[in-house]
Structure 1
Amino acid sequence: MENSGHIMIDSKELAGKRVLVTGGTKGGMGEAIVKRLTKAGATVITTARSAPDELKDSELFIQVDISTPEGTNKIVEYILERFGGVDILVNNVGGSSTPTGGVLKQTDTDWQRTFDTNLFAAVRLDRGLLPPMIKQGYGVILHITSIQRRFPGENTMAYSAAKAALANYSKALATELAPKGIRINSVAPGFTETKAAERLIERMAQERECDYKNARQALMDSLGGIPIGRTARPEEVAELVAFLVSDRASYIVGAEHTIDGGIVRTL
């Protein structure tokens, strides 16, 4: 057992497990998930569009654009050839770069790119990596959705729609595959202070001519406030993921777990 802050980590809990976490670099949730599952003893492969500055093990990294069919095919081929499949798949990649200004500013290309990244990447990877899981009668797939699917706005409608579709797909897939020994769930994070979020807050601070703290508070207020009074840390999301992919969660199937500090106030 390893003491990581206030959390005791069983360094053997995931020993022998082959794991793929998409988008596991650049100071985001993916990187935190990679570190957490590695500490639990898993062999963790990850992906990103660009290689990290400090690449410790090239065999455990795939440089690829996961939003394209060619990208997901490359991942599947590599995983099957090198590892024979995975036991755990965490579909973490997501995000949106659609322009602001409402629906008339968002083109077919913007919508397609958003759905390719947030929905079809997961669908293609699941389809490619499920056969070995089904054959061995065991597997865990986790989809990272977002509370944003419940808060569609004029500048996030494509992203919100894609994440809503991902949650719906995840539920249906869980029902289909549970009898085959495959557990599928999803995690819906709220405002998590990743490196990307930090850059957004810094830009807001410059635009509003205020400091970082006030810009962060303005962003929290725009969500209706966060009852717990702060943003989430990527490590907190990673801890939930570590639980859900472990055998401790062996009876949890087809559930979406919100981790948002209380932002979502509906049942």
Structure 2
Amino acid sequence: MTLVIKPLRKAVLPVAGLGTRFLPATKAMPKEMLPVVDRPLIQYAIDEARAAGIEEFCLITGRGKDSLIDYFDVAFELETTLRERNKLDALEALGPTSIEAGALSAVRQQEPLGLGHAIWCARSFIGDDPFAILLPDDVVKSDVPCLKQLVDVYNQTGGNVLAVTEVPREHTNRYGILKTGEDDGRLVEVKGLVEKPKPEDAPSNLSIIGRYILTADVMPHLSKLERGAGGEVQLTDAMAKVIGHAPFHGLRYEGRRFDCGNKVGYLEAQIAFSIDRPDLGDAVRAFLKNYTG
């Protein structure tokens, strides 16, 4: 039987969180609008998705998050002013902030019931199609965009593909953890998934990060809205139920992941991305010497 692989064109970006770790900054702005150098976190995720061939985007938002939608609109007044003042470099920088009309939708997650619930909120957008999930808190610095690496695997294997990385065993209770099958050192067969297991119960130390490619087969399981760890609807639990019915792989992606959901990871990302900029690198390295001795 020939495996039919549908083209991947859709991405869901859950952005409904309150961003409490970054208060008071996030009192009046979404966490996903916090910039790493001069691009907000949400822009990094959208740019990565576009580089992987994604054409349609769905933001899972909450109250007070409308600025995320506004950000990807056309700013006529600003663009006109920049053009009149001949600030063409600034005008060019705005290019990636616009998404084609009809290609961006937004759905409200009215209650904070977990990642699985957030994805379920996008059920009409997803339909019967495969879809990517990008969590903007995870910013991955790599030569080949992380989601593009997953798409290349998906186009070969079909089914479901997760970005995975090894974590210290004592930290397994923070992540979704894989039970592994065949493993060639890069691509690993997923035999099971456990959400936030205790270190002594973890089947491995391979953790999922915020990049997924899933088939619509997961949606009927999410629609049951069954509560798991933390009393939330866990995406990991629903994914575990489709294992064995379709190909399921984890990819040890190439690149460096920064957890911008916490302050240390966010500050590290600022440094890592700025020192690689031709216009900033030398200056950043110079001032860092003032603080590192």
TM bin, normalised by shorter chain, reads 0.3 to 0.5
Higher helix share goes to which structure?
Answer: 1
Larger RCO: 1 or 2 (CA < 8 Å, sep 6+): 2
Q: Which has the larger radius of gyration?
A: 2
Q: What is the TM-score with the length of structure 1 in the denominator?
A: 0.36
Q: What is the TM-score with the length of structure 2 in the denominator?
A: 0.34
